[in-house]
Amino acid sequence: MFRPALTTNGQPDVRQLWRANRAAGASEGVYRDLKRRILRLDLAPGEALSEPHLAQQYDLSRTPVREALIRLSDEGLVDIVPKSGTTVARIPLALLPEAIFVRLALEEATCRQAATRASDSAVLRLEACVALQREVSRQSDIEAFHLADEQFHATLADVAGFPGIWTLVERAKMHIDRYRRLTLPQHGRMPMVIDEHLAIVEAIRRRDSEAAGRAMKCHLEGLAVSIEEVRSSNPDFFAETP
């Protein structure tokens, strides 16, 4: 825990506190940006991360960069090996089924709840999310499609009356996000996701909670089916053990 030095009158040194707070803010910014780049695969699994190079890139000292890398390591997104270097962690193959299971449990329940309480305007919001996905899929914009997909699922949680569930899902699906981005370029994948989302919306429109839960289960179970195919196409991106 950081403890600021005291001045001669026993009060904390304000200048030191300011410097510490500024460093903490810088570290948070680096952490968020590196995490975004890792999850988007802008920084590929297995890619080396140079602390001095990152410090130069962000125009910062090495301390906030190091702190950001440690946080990412704690989340399993970065591997730090003393005297060997730091790399972007490969996607842990063994953890994907568990992460998909956790996400499925949370979102299936969310869908059922959404169907019991969705207003007509809420259904329109979900339809707007799917319409956006259809639009960006025509442009083959994978990143925009992923963001629209995130918006759809976050909106579902909001419609269910439990927006905080999406925060739990986000924590559970970090490794799924990198894997999912590798599935989207597959032929027919984006139209299939759109159709699955439409099935979810239609069940919610009918206020059929059982059908909504089944539609979400079908949607997310498809992720598990594609694991081996995606791994075979991108073997260097995956680690056999967590």
The answer on 35 and 110 residing in a single domain is no
Alpha-helical runs (H) found in 79-141: 96-117, 120-138
- Residue 81: domain span: 14-89
CA distance 176 to 128: 24
Name the nearest CA neighbour of 126 among 151, 95, 104: 151
CATH of the domain at 79: 1.10.10.10
Structurally, how many domains does the chain consist of? 2
Q: What residues form DSSP beta bridges with 12?
A: 6
HSE of 107 in the Cβ direction (CA atoms, 13 Å)? 28
Render pLDDT for 19-38 as a digit per residue (tens, 0 to 9).
444 555 888 989 999 999 99
- For the packed helices 174-183 and 164-172, what is the interaxial angle rounded to 10 degrees? 70
Q: Are 86 and 48 in contact (CB under 8 A)?
A: yes
Render pLDDT for 149-183 as a digit per residue (tens, 0 to 9).
999 999 999 999 999 999 999 888 888 889 988 88
More confident residue, 121 or 17: 121
| pTM of the predicted model as reported, rounded to 2 decimal places | 0.79
The answer on 222 and 151 residing in a single domain is yes
Q: What single DSSP character describes residue 197?
A: H
